[in-house]
Amino acid sequence: MSDRQQPETRLAAQLSHQDLSAMLADRLGVTAALVEAVRGDADLLAATVDAAVRTAESIRNGGTLFICGNGGSAGEATHLSGELIGPFLNKTRRPIPAVALGFDTSALTAVANDFSFDEIFSRPLAALARPGDVLWALSTSGRSPNIVRVLETAAERRVLSVLLTGAPHADLVAPVDLLLSVPSRETPRIQEIHLVLGHFLCEAVEATVC
């Protein structure tokens, strides 16, 4: 057995089937409790419905939806744009214009190299967005510099901004039109709820636009 395999073997030995079952039950319990907290958060629910209505209005008026995030939130950005460009539930409707920012690698690396990583979302938004478009920004902290900058650019370009984030932050400095704050400070749990809310937004936009 190689040295590389030994630590993995020791780790596996430390986590029994019972340990893993307990871990899974705990994680499911935490997520279920958070779902209930979200169900009881009138401000969050109202902001989510408002985001759906205003995004649909923009699309009906010829607007484009832009979505962005870092890390796992970047994966959710492409996930949600794919749900709208492709079919979500309605396989006969027209494609909905949705762009995940930051996935043109040539543009991303050029901007990061020549300007700053803080500009990787804001610069393409400035290039592509028009007044009346919509931005969904996903950030569990709400304070990532590139998210703050793209929200500032959205305000400058008169683009409706929706920030999906975690527990409300007193030091949130970015201008935001609609704030969807999940009542948690645990990144994986926040991202799970972001996907639930994101799927609702996609379903609502699909149902009201097409």
157 within some domain: yes
Quote the domain boundaries for residue 61: 30-209
67 within some domain: yes
How many Cβ atoms from other residues are within 10 Å of residue 6's Cβ? 10
Question: Whole-angstrom Cα distance, residue 154 to residue 126?
Answer: 8
Residues facing 179 on adjacent strands: 163
We report the CATH number of the domain holding residue 61 as 3.40.50.10490
198 within some domain: yes
Question: Kindly report the CA angle at 41 between 202 and 72, in degrees rounded to 5?
Answer: 50
Question: Whole-angstrom Cα distance, residue 128 to residue 130?
Answer: 7
3 within some domain: no
| Per-residue pLDDT, 56 | 98
The reported pTM is 0.91
| Per-residue pLDDT, 11 | 52
Identify the segments of the chain with pLDDT beneath 70. Answer: 1-13, 169-170
Paired tokens of 71? 């890390």
Question: Whole-angstrom Cα distance, residue 59 to residue 49?
Answer: 15
136 within some domain: yes
| Per-residue pLDDT, 14 | 82
60 within some domain: yes
64 within some domain: yes
CA 120 to centroid of chain Cα atoms: 16
Helix pair angle (42-60, 17-39), 10° resolution: 80
Paired tokens of 12? 């596996």
Q: Outline where DSSP puts E strands in the chain.
A: 65-69, 98-100, 134-138, 160-165, 178-181
How many Cβ atoms from other residues are within 10 Å of residue 31's Cβ? 17
Question: Whole-angstrom Cα distance, residue 76 to residue 70?
Answer: 9
Count of domains for the chain: 1
7 within some domain: no
Question: Whole-angstrom Cα distance, residue 62 to residue 2?
Answer: 60
| Per-residue pLDDT, 46 | 98
- Give which of 109, 151, 106, 143 is closest to 126, Cα–Cα: 151
| Per-residue pLDDT, 119 | 98
